[in-house]
Amino acid sequence: MANAKRDDNSIVTLLAVSNADGSTPVTLYADPTTHRLLTSAADVAVSELADGTDGELITWDSSGVPATVAAGTAGQVLTSNGAGAEPTFQTDIDMSAGGRLFGGGIQANHQTLAADTNLVLDENDSVVSVTLGSSSDNTITLPACSGNEGMLVTVYITDGTGTNNAVVTRAGSDTISNGSADLSNTTVTLGDTGDLVVLQCVNSSTWAIIQEVGTTVA
């Protein structure tokens, strides 16, 4: 049999038939690097992907080019970096020993203050349970407002049998607001079992009382 004539201006196309009906033509393509056959020039099945690194994820970079997200370490979570940026694996917030989520107004660290002792809170503290003493007041100093906007602090008297008080005081020149007509306070005093104050840092220099029971604000 004579060889068929070859047209150098043509492109050879390989056809197959669809497995749905056994007759519809389907064009086949070849990957120029691996030479693997593809059923579409755009769609690639998972089985047709090149080998990669365990733990990496496929994404697209800011130019829309396929890329991979580097594998994180154990315990990290996949985190969005916003539109136009590739996601990354990042360390999750550890709430077991404190931690904070100021956007939602939630902190987790619970401090227990014994009678006749003082405590300076930091940005991880959330709830302080106090036992009153009879030798001196318990002083609880709030964190500085700057950098802690949204933070919540609750101070609660669990045992008020002592004769002294618990005094919640500001840090530095911060103020404690107790309503629109009472903006420039510096302390909140609690003196009996069940007394409670909940404060929220509302700007870079002000704590606002959002709930109080049995307190004296000055």
Chain centroid to CA 115: how far? 36
Q: Calculate the alpha carbon distances from 205 to 50, 145, 167, 181, 212 in Å.
A: 56, 5, 19, 17, 20
Q: What is the mean pLDDT of residues 181-191?
A: 92
Of 36-40, 176-180, 207-211, the range with the lowest mean pLDDT is 36-40
Residue 43 has pLDDT above 70, yes or no: no
Domains of the chain, start order: 11-51 (no CATH), 53-92 (no CATH), 100-217 (2.60.120)
What average pLDDT is seen over the chain? 83
Beta carbons of 101 and 107 less than 8 angstroms apart: yes
User: What per-residue confidence (pLDDT) applies to 18?
Assistant: 76
**CA nearest 186: which of 203, 157, 215, 206?**
206
**CA nearest 120: which of 177, 167, 190?**
167
User: In this structure, what DSSP letter does residue 74 have?
Assistant: T
User: In this structure, what DSSP letter does residue 9 have?
Assistant: T
- Please enumerate in sequence order all residues whose Cβ is within 8 A of that of 108, keeping only pairs 6 or more positions apart, or say none: 95, 96, 98, 99, 100, 124, 126
